Chains A and B, each alone.
Chain A
Amino acid sequence: MTTPIAWLEAVEVDYPRGPALGPFDFELAPGEITALVGPSGCGKSTALRLLAGLEAPTRGRVERASGRGETAVVFQAPTLMPWASALDNVALPLELAGTPRPAARARAAAALARVKLAGIDLAKPAQLSGGMAMRVSLARALVTDPRLLLLDEPFAALDEITRRALAEDVHQLWLQSQLAIVFVTHNVEEAVYMASRVVVMTSGPGRAAGGAMIDAPLPRPPGFRTTAHFRQAAEKVSADLAKAMDVGAMEAT
């Protein structure tokens, strides 16, 4: 077994309104794609912020083998600076780290090309469609060549066709750079299609409650969605999710 790139050990997070997460254990191998699925408020975004180092656990241990700039986050909204061009938005992480502007911009242009957005460098976010803005956000995450990419419901606000296209793009990017990816989603089909492992989480407070390994090789053809393998995994995840929601509902009463 290779050394995990990030792991959470018995982490618990308490918010003023009560416990939000834990105890929760999680391990991520280099190059692995993991989906966290669960009802609203099950702490999946909290787990993601712990992995990003944006939040500290109340109890437990968070370890990351990757340093600053090696972890990237894509949020639910594109989260671009509306006043800055696509190129400047993508160059931001490099410039914050002190990379000189011309070099940062050159790498940003390359990152935009990787997400199939070459030639929109000077466009501002308001001039982009939702899918394009999300791609710019993805390019910004990739510009530092991270080893760990965290996606917090990245496609939730997009239409089905755009979501599927982006899911395939993420697979292509994964293929090029062998990133470890953790992504949070509400969508069982998306989780099973994209991930090599799905972790189902239950709420109140958030804990692991089953899931599935999907050992079909990545990237997967769109036709994978119609295979028996896909259907079985999706049914298993759906069943675990239904159980998790019952547990969450019981604990909430």
Chain B
Amino acid sequence: MNRALSLLAPFVLIAILLAVWEIVCRALAVPLFLLPPPSAIAVATAQNAPLLMSSAWNTLSMAVLAWIAASLFACGLALLVGTHSLIEDAVRPLAVVIQVTPIVAIAPLVNIWAGLDHPQRGVVGLAAVVAFFPIFSGALTGLKGADPDLERLFDLYGATRLQRLFRLRLPAAVPFVLEGHKVAAGLAVVGAVVAEFVAGSGGAQGLAWRILEASNRLQTAKMFAALLVLAAMGVALYTLLQTAERVILRRWRGR
């Protein structure tokens, strides 16, 4: 009973907020371009559903592509760096520079490099840059974060470098790598959306472009509809990865 209530609570809150929103809009006759009521947003979502879905697919597929590319590159680099401390000293500051530079500021540059005729490449590239750091950082922390006493035990029994890597450091890194991938997936979507905004042309027909387009035409309800789809996509992605992480970790530590 208690559990059902706590599951229900957020939906009740949302329903109340939507009702208040609807009533205020109607009572005060707020102009549609300023703040459309939920009913108008629902209509806009339904009317534009096919377009919004294909745009969402566009953004999602670019983000996922970027996430995979970032994963491969970040894990590979972490493996290289994690086994040679000199390379780590060289690489870490650069990785931090990439991480702290505002993504919006790099976007125009990446779009030029990707070629103005290929905005999708720019979007994927930029999203990959944003997704890179959490995976790299997680993998590196994990590789170097094995229990020091276990490291001593491997010393004691004269483990080779490869034995240490495969039997200790890689398995020890699993939870950190998973966490990095989860964070990176959310960031890849953010990166894709930012890149679409900066590309600013209709070349990349993603959700961000739908928002820009609707904003230029003062179709505020359609903007909300695109935002709604974007949020739903984010929640779905997060839930999926959260579940994957839980399942894998349960197998990893046996419960």
Contact = CB atoms under 8 A, between A and B. Distances in A.
**Do A and B come from the same complex?**
yes
Contacts of A84: 171
B158 A83 contact: no
B141 to A, nearest CB: 16
A75 B152 CA distance: 10
State the majority secondary structure of interface residues on B: helix
B117 interface: no
A232 interface: no
B157 A93 contact: yes
Interface string B141-170: 000000101101111111100010001100
Given A75-B149, A79-B150, A126 B253 contact: yes
B158 A68 contact: yes
B149 A79 contact: yes
Contacts of B171: 81, 83-84
Contacts of B174: 83
A213 interface: no
A26 to B, nearest CB: 19
B167 A73 contact: no
A95 B156 CA distance: 13
A92 B154 CA distance: 9
A96 B167 contact: yes
A54 B152 contact: yes
Interface residues of A, number: 28
Contacts of B33: none
Nearest to B174: A83
Interface string B96-134: 000000000000000000000000000000000000000
Size bracket of the B interface: 20 to 34
A69 interface: yes
B250 to A, nearest CB: 10
Contact of B253 (A69, A73, A82, A93): A82
Nearest to A123: B254
A124 B250 CA distance: 11
Contact of B152 (A73, A81, A95): A73
A70 to B, nearest CB: 11
A125 to B, nearest CB: 8
Interface in A41-56: 49, 52-54
A109 B156 CA distance: 22
Given A53-B156, A79-B153, A96 B163 contact: yes
Interface of A: 49, 52-54, 68-69, 71-73, 75, 77, 79, 81-85, 92-93, 95-97, 123-127, 144
- Lowest 7 A-B CB distances belong to which pairs? A124-B254, A79-B149, A96-B157, A75-B149, A83-B171, A126-B253, A93-B157
17 contacts: A52-B156, A54-B152, A68-B158, A69-B157, A72-B156, A73-B153, A75-B152, A79-B150, A79-B153, A81-B167, A81-B168, A82-B254, A83-B172, A95-B167, A96-B154, A124-B254, A124-B255
